[in-house]
Chains A and B, each alone.
Chain A
Amino acid sequence: MRTRWVVLIGVGAALVLAGVLSVFASSSPDGLTKVSQDHGFAHTERPHDGLLGGYGRATGAVGVVVVLALAGGVTYAVRRRR
């Protein structure tokens, strides 16, 4: 398989995971959040606002594209050129 296809299929999989299958994700608090609730330090959290709000199907897909562009850009810039 050509590298181009590996990358395209991988990015397609990431978009499907973030943009479609993320609705099936568990909504229970994650490990650290649960521990902070159980052990009485959850109240010390100071929330802030994100530019896209929270995770949703659309914002998740946008996040995939932003991460792809940023990480792809940085690594493309530092690579060894042939």
Chain B
Amino acid sequence: MHVPDGFLDAPTSAATGAVAIACVGTALVRARRELDDRTAPMAGLVAAFVFAVQMLNFPVASGTSGHLLGGALAAVLVGPWTGVLCTSVVFIVQCLLFADGGITALGTNILLMGVTTVAVGWLVFRLLQVLLPKRLGVVPVAAGIGAFLSVPVAAALFVLLYAVGGTADIPLDNLTTAMVGVHTLIGIGEGVITFLAVGAIIAVRPDLVYGARRVLARRELEIKPAVVG
């Protein structure tokens, strides 16, 4: 969903740039609470992994592909604010080194594919964590569902930005149907990849998964029956 230069007009791009700078600035301050000596190494890994998996476009419909966006994955693994930092680094490197996503559209891309997927992914994940049983096995499932929903929401937000500052006169109802439709399919891939990646870390080191902290803390507080004998 990398937006190139030219799709959105200059005022809209300037506005998304300003909002993106505010989000990344806030994330730089708030990520501190999520990161300590033990979890900080995971953040670099998560960013590198999201970058690598974004190269792996999978086919979704006739002549169309999609790839991971990664905000929900990053949020559950290292925390939402750190997730904003990780995904932002990915989009900056893709823009400058690979010309993937426009330079004036960098703020738009950070906002759509980073901040939005982190926010939607994390909020849905937390909501499901509250509603579902407090078990480790639920963590990858909740992460996958959050990831799935984050993609069509990001697509809908693109349409909203296009309605405000799109450079071509496109019927918005057609654009909405097409964007949300294809990105719902891409969201399925997003959900599966997120489920598998979170599940893999949960299987070996659940304590390294930010979104599993509450489950683990609760587990430690449980009163274990005494072993008699």
Number of A residues with CB within 8 Å of any CB on chain B:
64
Kindly state whether residue A58 has any CB partner on chain B within 8 Å.
Answer: no
B133: Cβ under 8 A from any A Cβ: no
A30–B205 touching, CB < 8 Å: no
Chain B residue numbers with a CB within 8 Å of A7 are 41-42, 44-45
6 A-B interface contacts by CB (under 8 A): A3-B41, A14-B45, A48-B99, A53-B99, A75-B86, A79-B40
A-side interface residues toward B, CB under 8 Å? 1, 3-4, 6-7, 10-11, 13-15, 17-18, 21-22, 24-32, 34-36, 38-41, 44-55, 59-60, 62-76, 78-82
A63 in contact with B170 given A26-B57, A71-B85 (CB within 8 Å): no
Q: Is the interface of B mostly helix, strand, loop or mixed?
A: helix
A1-B55 contact, Cβ under 8 Å, with A35-B178, A48-B102, A63-B97: no
Residues from chain A with a CB closer than 8 A to the CB of B94 are 63
Q: Is the CB of A44 within 8 A of B155?
A: no
Residue with the greatest number of chain B CB neighbours at <10 A, chosen from A27, A34, A49: A34
Interchain CB contact under 8 A, B174 and A39: yes
CB atoms of A28 and B93 under 8 A apart: no
Query: A44 near B89 (CB under 8 angstroms)?
Result: no
Q: Determine the chain A residues whose CB is within 8 A of the CB of B170 once the complex forms.
A: 39-41
- Smallest Cβ distance from A10 to chain B, in angstroms? 4
Q: With contacts A47-B99, A70-B93 known, is A27 near B57, CB below 8 A?
A: yes
Q: Cβ of B40 and Cβ of A31 under 8 Å apart? A: no
